[in-house]
Amino acid sequence: MIVPAPLVNACIIDNNKIYAYGFKKLLSIKDLSNQVTHFENGSDAIAHLKNPGNALNLPDIIFLDLSMPVMDGWEFMKEFEEIKSQLGKKISVYILSSSIDSHDIDRAKNIPSVSGYIFKPVDVQRLQEIFKNLQGIARQ
């Protein structure tokens, strides 16, 4: 009997509702995640992560846009670095941006919690590799 790999609980933080909808749809179609939470800014996402009522439903992975109103991706990462040890689980964070500015890429590389930098539009094969690695970690 083949046991299916556990699906990864994902989160996308992006103020572009159309992009977020398409991203969620892609994850569903490719059977990468059946649970994708969407936040339109970093502030709402931080509030969700800090809420003790969500402790059992935290994402395994976050896809984070850099340019958003209220709290942008950089501000989110600053807050995330401060609270990550209190969350009770390791959460991988990938920057998901249309910015090809080398300063943004270098800045992201210098944040310990950032697992990678993905350019929009997202490469499906790269996404599949990321989720495959996460599922492998979850089984250990």
Tens place of pLDDT for every residue, the chain, 140 residues? 444 555 789 999 999 999 999 999 999 999 898 789 999 999 999 999 999 999 888 999 999 999 999 999 999 999 999 999 999 899 999 999 998 899 999 999 999 999 999 999 899 999 999 998 887 654 44
List the CATH code of the domain at 14-139: 3.40.50.2300
Q: Which of 102, 64, 98, 103 is nearest to 81 (CA)?
A: 64
- What tokens appear for 105 in the block? 């890429």
User: What's the pTM value of the predicted model, to 2 decimals?
Assistant: 0.91
pLDDT of residue 8: 83
Identify whether the C-beta of residue 7 lies closer than 8 Å to the C-beta of residue 30: no
